[in-house]
Amino acid sequence: MKEGIYLNLNKNYRFYIDGMWEESKSKEVIKIMSPYKDELVGTVQAISKDEADKAIQSAKIAQKEWEKLSIRDRGNYLYHWIEELEKSKEDIATTIMQEVGKGFQDAVKEVERTIDLIRFTIEEAIHLYGESMLGENFPGGNRSKIAISHRVPLGVVLAISPFNYPVNLSAAKIAPALISGNAVVFKPATQGAISGIKMIEALDRAGLPKGVLNVVTGHGSVIGNYLIEHQGIDMISFTGGSGTGKRIAKLANMIPLVMELGGKDPAIVVKDANLDLAAKQIVSGAFSYSGQRCTAIKRVFVDEMIADELIEKLSEELKNVTIGSPEENKMIVPLIDQKSADFVQSLIDDALEKNATLITGNQREGNLIYPTLLDHVTPNMRLAWEEPFGPVLPIIRVKTVDEAIEMSNQSEYGLQASIFSQDIDQAFIIAEKIQAGSVQINGRTERGPDHFPFIGTKGSGMGTQGVRRSIESMTREKVTVININ
Ligand code: G3H
């Protein structure tokens, strides 16, 4: 990290409405504390329902003009956004580090990944075409009917993003929405809101027309349901916890929803796996950013014949895992808050009380939890089923591959899974049987590259993301039929 980059600590950040940065009339602000230092990062506005309503109305009006621009004109605004993000990359990365405790280099990577994602989104949208169909293909039809189908925006997209990728997962919603002619009401996670605001400051400097994107910050208890239920919202793209996702699905007004929620991604290690590869991928998959990724590997099913050998290799790999401050780019950093750390600790305690074997870890300093590996985890333990969102990995020994598949599928979640096997036929057969949006063969579970389809099934979400799929989810087909008489 560069010296002297702490420029903006303690600043009061405003919300963004109709092209203006405003303080809330509520006069209330929310303090954003650092997850790793006893330090105030800044404050954000706790806006009222009335202000949330105005933000939606502003977006509604602006969208009508925005969709009339050509896709290339809209793309040019987003290209300018990229230029501005390039210029403020270090500042935004520093904010991500300060606000959500992500290692500085990883925060820089997050901004770079975001820039690539926005660029890819513009290019993909420019190359998406409609189609035409002749009536004659259907029985009884004829060539005098021609349907022309192209995609049109949905209107106002409500983008709600999580703390763990406050920039990338926000832009993954905002860029496809904007390029396809939607306006956006952006509600960042409260812890992560300053990073989101800085990203939108760059979009403001790029000259985005007023109202096309508005940023709302505040207490979920005040504006959460109000935004979700608002008649002016035409689509919701949400990433966050499964509980909130289910509530959104109940409250939303028969509008399209795309949601990426929690996960309990398994790694299945079969007898013939390359164990060196598996150990490396599992440790990186389970412990990067302290396991605070929906796609983290959150349990390992291993054939009991090779379990000892795998655990030995995992333990060796874990020796390379660094622990400490995000400012020193450590892999294991303090969790986002005390409550999260308490929850992770409760899962470890429960497993140990029920006779799991501690291989390493179970040390804690505040909300810094050391990487913890537990063997002999069994189905009666909470850790076999619950998502820790922290650096703890349970090993579940199985006698057969079928047992691993069965336990994988018993989960309420279905985001991703990894299979480690050198027999590609066997890996494919297992992949077919696993209930998950994506299955990785011989690799860790992860979302990227960002143009791959990304899908949560069961309690892990609904709809598909990934650049093209996100554009499709924020548009609908419009069909015009020509009747030649
Ligand atoms: O936390 C949820 C993210 O979508 C995970 O993304 O696999 O790139 O870390 P990632």
Enumerate the active-site residues. 260, 294
Report the separation in Å between the CA atom of 434 and the middle of ligand 1, taken as the mean of its atom positions.
Answer: 20
Ordered per-residue pLDDT tens for the chain, 485 residues: 544 455 567 799 999 999 999 999 999 999 999 999 999 999 999 999 999 999 999 999 999 999 999 999 999 999 999 999 999 999 999 999 999 999 999 999 999 999 999 999 999 999 999 999 999 999 999 999 999 999 999 999 999 999 999 999 999 999 999 999 999 999 999 999 999 999 999 999 999 999 999 999 999 999 999 999 999 999 999 999 999 999 999 999 999 999 999 999 999 999 999 999 999 999 999 999 999 999 999 999 999 999 999 999 999 999 999 999 999 999 999 999 999 999 999 999 999 999 999 999 999 999 999 999 999 999 999 999 999 999 999 999 999 999 999 999 999 999 999 999 999 999 999 999 999 999 999 999 999 999 999 999 999 999 999 999 999 999 999 999 999 99
The number of the ligand 1 atom at minimal distance from the alpha carbon of 448 is 8
- Report how far ligand 1's centroid is from the alpha carbon of 260 (Å): 10
Is residue 455 in contact with ligand 1, taking CB distance under 6 Å?
no
- Please state, in angstroms and rounded to a whole number, the distance separating the CA atoms of residues 37 and 326: 10
Give the integer Cα–Cα distance in Å for 272 and 275: 8
Q: φ, ψ for residue 42 (rounded to 5)?
A: 170, 180
Two structure tokens written together for 14: 């405003």
| CA 20 to ligand 1 centroid distance, Å | 32
Residues facing residue 393 across a β-bridge:
373
User: Is the CB of 293 within 6 Å of ligand 1?
Assistant: yes
The CA-atom distances, in angstroms, between 44 and each of 13, 89, 202 are 5, 21, 17
Given ligand 1 and candidates 117, 418, 447, 460, which is best to mutate, with the most ligand atoms within 8 Å of its CB? 447
CB 117 near ligand 1, within 6 Å: no
Inter-residue long-range contacts of 5-9, CB under 8 Å, 24+ positions, other chains counted: 5/90, 5/91, 5/94, 6/94, 6/98, 7/91, 8/42, 8/91, 8/95, 9/39, 9/40, 9/41, 9/42, 9/98
For residue 150 the two structure tokens come to: 């192209």
Q: Which residue has 């208890």 as its token pair?
A: 221
CA of 294 to the centre of ligand 1 (A): 6
b/e map 340-350, b = 16+ CB within 10 Å = bbebbbebbee
Which tokens sit at 179? 């390029």
Closest to 194 measured CA to CA, from 33, 428, 26, 3: 33
- What are the phi and psi torsion angles at 28 (to 5°)? -105, 135
8 Å CB contact between 167 and 90: no
Instruction: Using most ligand atoms within 8 A of CB, pick from 102, 117, 293 the residue to mutate for ligand 1.
Output: 293
pTM of the model: 0.96
Ligand 1 contact via 294 beta carbon (within 6 Å): yes
Report how far residue 34's alpha carbon sits from residue 42's, in angstroms, rounded to the nearest whole number: 9
Peptide bond into 188 cis (omega under 30): no
Mapped onto helix, strand or coil, the DSSP state of residue 311 is helix
| C-alpha 399 – ligand 1 centre gap (Å) | 31
